[in-house]
Amino acid sequence: MTELLLQVENLKKHFPINGGIFGKKVGEVKAVDGVSFYVKKGETLGIVGESGCGKSTTGRLLLRLLDPTEGKVTFENKDVTTLSKEELRKVRREMQMIFQDPFASLNPRHTVEKILEEPLIVHGIGTKEERKRRVREMLEVVGLSSYHAKRYPHQFSGGQRQRIGIARSLMTNPKLIIADEPVSALDVSIQSQVLNLLEDLQKEYDLTYVFIAHDLGVVRHISDRVGVMYLGRLIELTDSEKLYEKPLHPYTQALLNAVPIPDPDFKREEIEISGEIPSPSNPPAGCAFHTRCRECMDICKTTRPEFKEIEPNHFVACHLYE
């Protein structure tokens, strides 16, 4: 089996809801509620779901930008969830994040050079000269020019800003990149350019990606495997090809139905998801999807289906397959 780079076991993040005059805890939002998966070295794992499903919180937990309520994240045999501040700082050199909104994640008062140099300074890498050389090199690598180094973020287009965000994530030569909706804020015409760039960089620098998106169409071409999340849990996870050709979970089937097909002769069964996504502070009993599922059975309303491997490499949480 290919070497595992990242292993996630029963990861949970519950945010307290405080209320009343004394600000006491009156409930909790189970943003991530028992997620387990692994990521192999060199692969791209896509994580997909509607907003509020916990996919971005999961991304932040992997880097410990948030502390988990429970569970374990192992990166190269180190448990990220228990590392000291100093150990965490060292590990973060190897794990970087690309954010959805490149404008919000780039300091508007700093030049591109300063923005890109910062991770090197934080990790004590290189001399001043070496750092400047690396900034120029990385700008060229992501399709910008070294003369852009002296400009400020507002002087760039959305696509160029995301290229700066990508360059920043690569400055420390990481092994793992968590890309949180990296193309969602971009025009469709720019999206494929940025996706192609990410694919080229993966080959060139031997990168491993966790690619978070709300649209199955976006992750299709870039992902080797795809996991679908619903209300804080994974409900299906398998090879990309299998997921798109033979989705098993009714929620995945409905999500795929919304993805346009380029072949006009291909007819797909119409499946719609009815109703809104329930609140993660008050998820439905049993299968969390039962309030919107057209296949719902009695057992679905009371008993939560286990997330099980029902055929090699194909995990599903649904009573239809038990």
Residues that bind ligand SF4 (CB under 6 A): 249-250, 287, 289-290, 293, 295-297, 300, 305, 318-320
Give which of 235, 259, 264 is closest to 245, Cα–Cα. 259
The nearest distance, CB 303 to ligand SF4, in angstroms, is: 9
The nearest distance, CB 48 to ligand SF4, in angstroms, is: 16
The neighbour count for residue 65, using CB atoms within 10 Å, is 12
The nearest distance, CB 252 to ligand SF4, in angstroms, is: 9
Q: Judged by CB, which is closer to ligand SF4: 44, or 238?
A: 238
Give which of 64, 50, 289, 13 is closest to 181, Cα–Cα. 50
Encoded tokens for 75: 């990166």
H runs (alpha helix) in the chain: 55-62, 85-92, 102-105, 112-122, 128-141, 158-170, 188-205, 216-220, 240-245, 250-257, 298-302
Q: Judged by CB, which is closer to ligand SF4: 49, or 159?
A: 49
Beta bridge partners of 73: 8
Find the helix or strand (DSSP H, E) in which 17 lies: strand 4-19
The nearest distance, CB 246 to ligand SF4, in angstroms, is: 16
CA distance 32 to 66: 12
User: 132 near 117, Cβ under 8 Å?
Assistant: yes
The nearest distance, CB 288 to ligand SF4, in angstroms, is: 8
Tell me which DSSP letter residue 209 carries: E
The nearest distance, CB 272 to ligand SF4, in angstroms, is: 14
Q: Judged by CB, which is closer to ligand SF4: 37, or 289?
A: 289
Contacts of 184 (CB under 8 A, 6+ apart): 100, 213, 214, 215, 218
Beta bridge partners of 48: 213, 228
Sign of CA dihedral 157, 162, 168, 170: negative
Q: Judged by CB, which is closer to ligand SF4: 52, or 305?
A: 305
Q: Judged by CB, which is closer to ligand SF4: 222, or 300?
A: 300
Q: Judged by CB, which is closer to ligand SF4: 241, or 306?
A: 306
Q: Judged by CB, which is closer to ligand SF4: 95, or 216?
A: 216
Q: Judged by CB, which is closer to ligand SF4: 88, or 296?
A: 296
Contacts of 40 (CB under 8 A, 6+ apart): 1, 2, 3, 4, 5, 208, 224
CA distance 135 to 173: 12
Q: Which amino acid is it at 188? A: V
The nearest distance, CB 307 to ligand SF4, in angstroms, is: 11
Q: Judged by CB, which is closer to ligand SF4: 206, or 298?
A: 298
Encoded tokens for 232: 């804080």
